Amino acid sequence: MEKITLVCMGHEPDLSAHLILAAKPYKIDVEVVDILRDKADLEFKRDSDAKVAVKDGELVIERFYPMNLLQKLSMQKEAVDDWRELTESILIDWNYDGAVLQPEVVDIPEKKTDLVIGRYKVPADAGTIRVKITDLLSESWEGNVTNG
């Protein structure tokens, strides 16, 4: 059985039944979420955003905005003084094969008061660099940076 969540603004009370009937012979479970009626329970997930670059032989994380964490804290990204305060860890694979992250740099502060570094010397043999940044909610952003 497939589960479908339908998000709408206003709907007929029998919408779910009509969709289930229309899908026959396939069996579906339909959840109808009405943003006008259910807005107190509604929470949209947003992807994190980051800017990572190689500058002067260093991998530099210029910014990181964990959008779901900011939403939970009721903060706008402009209100973030230091992105590192919202970051739990940074993993870096200097030669990413396109499939499996094999971090050679694991930046996880030992104490809660410490912050991740955010700047890392790029090895001479680095190829495609894969970066994984995890926020305090354990949600992460991943992206590639080309060396050179």
pLDDT by position in tens, the chain (length 148): 788 888 888 888 898 898 899 999 999 998 888 877 776 666 666 778 889 999 999 999 998 888 777 777 776 666 777 888 889 999 999 999 999 999 999 999 998 789 999 999 999 999 999 999 998 888 889 999 987 6
Q: Are 128 and 146 in contact (CB under 8 A)?
A: yes
* Length, in residues, of the chain: 148
Whole-model pTM: value is 0.66
- 128 exposed, middle or buried (CB, 10 Å; 0-12, 13-18, 19+)? middle
Prior bond of 103 cis (ω within 30°) = no
User: Which residues neighbour 72 within 8 Å (Cβ) at sequence distance 6 or greater?
Assistant: 137
- CA neighbor of 1 nearest in space, from 34, 33, 23: 23
In DSSP terms, 6 is beta-bridged to 32
SS3 87: strand
Rg (the chain; Cα; Å): 21
